Amino acid sequence: MKWLLALALGAVALAVSFAGSAALLEAWLTGFLLWLHLGVGAIGVLALGHLLREEWLAPVRAPLEAAARSLPLLALMALPLLLVPDQLYPWAHVEAEPGPRAALLQPWAFRLRSLAYLLVWAALGWRLARPGPQRGASVLALVLLLPTATLAGFDWVLSRDTSWYASLQGFSMWVAGLAAALAAAILAARTHPSSEGLPGLERALLTLGLAVLWLWFTQFIVVWMADLPEEAGWYLRRLGEWRWVQLGLALPALLLAIALAAPPDHGRWRMVAVCWLLLVQFAAHLWWVVRPDAPLATPAPWLDLLVTGGLGLAFALWWRAGLRRLS
């Protein structure tokens, strides 16, 4: 079942690559990044749980392991990015000024790095999803995840603005993915966490939520204090017609999630609310970061929903199959 689904998705990705419009590819990029961060975030949460020997990992371990093993499917979702980067990245069809950045932003180098990220993550997901404690593998996972996730954030998202050099955005997107992956795993868990694991999950959700907020604020302050026109322009584009996404949706959802997560002894309804709010803020913030730099076309809302929902359905079916195998 899982491999039939993978073959079907691979065929769809190839069709989108060779026949898709710019708007369709733009919607595909956003949907791919959304589900990719859940898979890669699950690897990071597993590594942290194993390394710290936290009791909260037990009730959410199966959903996280199933998500961590979704990287083969997510690699197929990446095909349009690898096959037709010129539709999504301005540097792929414009000759850049000579320099180290121009050498990095070549289609062949972009494809090699992307394949390396996906292979490393797939291997880490497979390793951390094995039974038993995985402390040694967890150390290796965190050592590899930090640079690969940061570089992937630059390659797949931030490089669409060739004047953008900020380094914290890729890292902050990965941390937001950790929070979203843990929230999704809690919602997917078959039972509500026991009293032993509940305080740890409460602290983990609150810590990740605060880390996301701190990274957003730090990156903004660094750019503001540096007073660099190119990097300020990145924010100005997003504080125009796109400001409602961040200021009206992502930021209120994050602040409300932190406010609900701060008091101890969560009831089930409060933990569920915190998880949904973290997922909403993650999706909205990702859209806010990615979409304003669309080089050729902006998809209609119905196309965004259709493509993201279709990729999400494939991800959910793979995840469900993995959960059944682990149970």
pLDDT of amino acid 179 = 94
CA distances from 319 to 73, 175, 287 (A): 10, 21, 23
Average pLDDT, the chain: 84
DSSP structure class, residue 324: H
Write the pLDDT tens digit of every residue in 186-239.
Answer: 988 766 555 555 777 888 889 999 999 998 888 877 777 766 666 777 787 888
Write the pLDDT tens digit of every residue in 38-88.
Answer: 999 999 999 998 888 767 788 888 899 999 999 999 998 998 888 888 888
pLDDT of amino acid 107 = 85
CA distances from 85 to 15, 91, 168, 171, 177 (A): 15, 9, 24, 23, 24
pLDDT of amino acid 1 = 60
Distance CA 178, CA 208 (A): 7
Give start and end residues of each alpha helix (H) in the chain: 2-19, 22-52, 57-68, 71-77, 79-83, 100-104, 107-128, 135-156, 168-188, 198-226, 229-238, 243-245, 251-261, 268-290, 301-326
Distance CA 258, CA 277 (A): 9
The answer to whether the CB of 279 falls within 8 A of the CB of 183 is yes
Residue matched to tokens 């660099």: 228
Packing angle between helix 268-290 and helix 198-226, nearest 10 degrees? 30
